[in-house]
Amino acid sequence: MNADQRAAMAAPARFRSPSIFIWVVIISFAAFFIQGFASADIRSDRLLQGLGNLGNFFAQSVPPDTSRLGPIFRAMLETLNMAIVGVTFGVILSVPFALLCSSNTSPNAVVRTVSRMIVATLRTIPDLIWALIFVVAVGLGPLAGILAIIMDTIGFCARFFSERIEEIRPGPSEALTATGAGRMSVIFGAILPESMASMTATSLYSVEKAIRSAVVLGLVGAGGIGVELSVSMRMFRFDQALTIILVILVVVIAVEQISSAIRKRVI
C-alpha cells in the first residue's frame, strides 16, 4: 500500500480545540447577536400587525398607476445617467489609487500606507452619507448623487484593483524591466494589460451597485428616481410607488443581465 492509498484510508480530520482568540470572537458575536435581537423588540403581535400593514399597502397599490410614466421614465434615465457618469469618473480615479496602494507598483511604503488609508476611508463611509455631504456642498440634484457615487466607486474599485495588481505574474514586468523599460512603461505595458480583464469585471459590478445606490440617494435629494419614489410614498400614492418600483426592478435586472453577458465575454 503506497502513501496515497494510506492517506485516502486515514481517518478524517477532527475539529481542533478553538484558541482563546476564536472563543473571544464567538462570545463577542453571540453577545452582539443577543443584544441586537433583544433591542429589536421582536414580538408576534408586531409581526402580525406588520403583515396586515403590508397587505394594506399592496391592496392600495394594485393595480399600479401608469398615468405618470413619462416623468417616471425621465427620472429613471436621470438615475442611469448618475450611475454611468459617477462610475466612469470613479473607475478612472481608482486606477492611480490602486497603483499607489499595491506593493509592486507603489513608490514606497509611506505612499502605500497613506493611499490605503484614504481608500479605506472612502470605502468605510456609506454612499448615503456622501450624498448628504454633497447635498449640503452643491445643493439638491443629480450632481450630489454623481459625486457620492464617485467617492463610493473609488473606495470599492481601488481596493479590488490593487489586489489584482498585486496578484499578477511577475514575468512580463521583469521582462520589460530587463530591456531597460522605466516604471511607467512597465505599468502600461505589462501590469495594466495583465489586470484589465479583472478590472473590467469589477467596473461592471460597480455599475450594477451604482444604479441601486442612485435609487437610494434620490431619497435624500440627490436626484433620480428616488425623488419620485419618496414623494409617492409620502403622499400615500402607493399605486404610483408600485409603478416606480416595477420600473426600477426591470431596469436593474436588465443592467445585471447585460453586465453578466459582457463579463462572460471579457473574462
Instruction: Answer yes or no: is 39 within a domain.
Output: no
**Domain of 120, in residue numbers:** 68-266
| Tens digits of residue pLDDT in 225-238 | 888 888 888 888 88
pLDDT tens by residue, 86-117: 999 999 998 888 888 887 777 788 888 898 89
- Residue 102 domain-assigned (yes or no): yes
pLDDT tens for 5-43 read 555 555 555 667 777 888 888 889 999 888 888 887 777
Q: What's the mean pLDDT in 69-77?
A: 85
Give, in degrees to the nearest 5, the angle at Cα 119 between 86 and 209: 40
Residue 165 CB contacts under 8 Å (≥ 6 apart), including other chains: 98, 99, 102, 104, 105, 191, 195
pLDDT at residue 89, rounded to an integer: 92
Q: Give the count of domains, the chain.
A: 1
CATH number for the domain harbouring residue 95: 1.10.3720.10
In a domain, 243, yes or no: yes
Q: Is 96 part of a structural domain of the chain?
A: yes
Q: What is the pLDDT of residues 131-185, one digit of tens each?
A: 888 888 888 888 888 898 899 899 888 888 888 887 777 776 667 677 766 667 7
Provide the mean pLDDT of the chain.
Answer: 81
